[in-house]
Amino acid sequence: MPKPSPITREHILDAMTYVGDDPAQWPFLSRPKLYVVIDPRNGALLPPKLVLTTAADIANRNRRHAMYSGGEQTNRVLRELGFSVVEKASVAQVACGDLTATSAA
């Protein structure tokens, strides 16, 4: 039986606050490639791997933790804790659609 994760929803929310919504502040390799996790408090689009790794650091009080490789492993943990993880491309299409609709009005 798999060991339960020490990471809670509160750890994820704390990590989202710590990571912030300014991509210029994220490590270059941590920027989202295919997926983003949505902060339910403000709608910010954040890199799932950076959020989950930061949450693991918080949960383990910066002790050594399991590495999250990103992709489906990371996304599954976030979804199980009730967060929306969506394809980055689908968010960009919606944003462009909204911009076009606003410009046409």
- From first to last of its 105 residues, the chain has per-residue pLDDT tens of 455 668 999 999 999 999 999 988 888 878 888 899 999 999 999 999 999 999 998 988 765 555 566 788 889 989 999 999 999 888 766 655 554 433 344
- With a threshold of 0.85, does the pTM exceed it? no
pLDDT value, residue 78:
93
Q: Are 39 and 14 a contacting pair, CB within 8 Å?
A: no
pLDDT value, residue 38:
95
In the chain, the amino acid numbered 54 is: T
Q: Report residue 104: phi and psi, to 5°.
A: -75, -20
pLDDT value, residue 99:
41
Q: Where are the beta strands (DSSP E) in the chain?
A: 35-38, 45-46, 84-87
pLDDT value, residue 33:
83
